[in-house]
Structure 1
């Protein structure tokens, strides 16, 4: 059973999403929130598998809420919901630690696909923007956004040329088989390179790996 919390300031939107989700076997909406602050309280109280949260809400917006949840409740998966497919919103959502980004105009099939993908530990970014936005983000090409430039840190260990190649492909969300095929190496070798990267960069997941890659300007 996938336990879900809904956070949106419009009751009709929450009711519609709740009806859609609970019509499916294996998904249950266990609580709701009408703003970002309420979302933090509800998540802390219920520890859901997935939080589906709107970006634009009163008191605390969805991006700020997701950033806080990612700090204190790392086991909770977060799916951002928005009317907007702008690069700014998507990148800021990724920076906050969101596991997915879905448009409110998405079909029922895509909505359910996104929820299940995020709940199972994957990432889901809607439509054609996913590859473009992820590529911009992992390459540090965020100059169009306001805020200070990231501090470039010095890595105490060195990555080999092959490890850098693997890192670039990992950050493009390619699996071990795809990496092996592209670099003409065995799947096992790709797995070893991925493991070594996570160990050298002291990263526990893709989000941390992406952050470290940006901090050290590795891609």
Structure 2
């Protein structure tokens, strides 16, 4: 894998230290700089030209979403990942609108963090499980047309799902998080994550936005 140069922007030194330590434990990641607010993030991105910008949402001078929006307008090649403690629909959709390639919560584990950076670096999008629930909910509330009945192909795809996977899919489409689904079904969060992964694989979708669209096509 190529070396991935990363710029960290967060107004808390302790957070930046922790992120730097986590990132530099990976042989292919290099932290090329640190900023403390959105304006510094913009300026340092233009000067350092990192592959990935990891930026917090709420900061002084300029917030992270406005910084990403500014960089998008400037057509920089740096790809941005918003890192936040907020999983509200408003923040997530604003981040997407600004041009962010990813949105991760600050309680994300190392494995998912590394996966997200690698995915975005390779041209993909990455939104952690609970944040994509808000995106799915927004798409549904946006009034997308749902077919009254599935096509024959749709029936074949639906038949691939187990009863439990279908049940979990309906919970997801109603905006429930993994933890909420686990509590409703009396299962562990890890079990729900496994079911979610399996149903996404069976329906050949890469994220929950695609899952929502596919579910609408299938008549859910």
Alignment correspondent of 2:100: 98
Separation (CA, whole Å) in 2 of partners of 1:32 and 1:128: 27
1:8 maps onto 2:14 in alignment: no
Where do 5+ consecutive residues of structure 2 fail to align? Answer: 144-204
Q: 1:172 to 1:108 in 2, by over 3 A?
A: closer
Q: Whole-Å Cα distance in 1 between the matches of residues 139 and 60 of structure 2? A: 27
Alignment-derived partner of residue 128 in structure 1:
130
Provide the C-alpha distance between the structure 2 equivalents of 1:97 and 1:134, rounded to a whole number of angstroms: 18
Cα pair distance change 1:60/1:121, threshold 3 Å:
same
**Is 1:86 aligned with 2:88?**
yes
Q: State the SS of the aligned residue for 1:94.
A: helix
Judging changes above 3 Å, is the alpha-carbon distance between structure 1 residues 2 and 131 closer, same or farther for their aligned structure 2 residues? same
Question: Runs of 4+ in structure 1 displaced over 6 angstroms?
Answer: none
Partners of 1:173 and 1:45 in 2: how far apart?
A: 35
Deviation, structure 1 residue 172: 4.0
Question: What is the alpha-carbon distance in structure 2 between the residues aligned to residue 118 and residue 39 of structure 1?
Answer: 18
User: Does structure 1 residue 54 correspond to structure 2 residue 43?
Assistant: no
1:36-58 CA distances to partner (integer Å, 9 max, x unpaired)? 00001100001110000000000
Q: Please, which runs of 5 or more residues in structure 1 have no aligned partner?
A: 142-168, 184-219
TM-score normalised according to structure 1 size: 0.63
1:91 and 1:137 in contact (8 A); partners too: no
Aligned position for 2:70: 68
| Alignment of structure 1 residues 1-219 onto 2, 5 Å | 1-130=3-132, 132-134=134-136, 136-137=138-139, 140=142, 172-173=209-210
Conserved in 2, the CA contact under 8 Å of 1:5 and 1:50? yes
Give 3-state SS (helix, strand or coil) of 2:103's partner: strand
Size of the aligned set, in residue pairs, is 151
Partners of 2:136 and 2:96 lie apart in 1 by 8
1:120 to partner: Cα distance: 1.0
Instruction: Give the 3 Å change call, closer, same or farther, for CA 110–45 of structure 1 in structure 2.
Output: same
TM value normalised by structure 2? 0.62
Query: Take 1:80 and 1:14, find their aligned partners in 2: how far apart are those partners?
Result: 14
C-alpha spacing 1:75/1:137, structure 2 compared with 1 (3 Å): farther
Shift of 1:74: 3.5
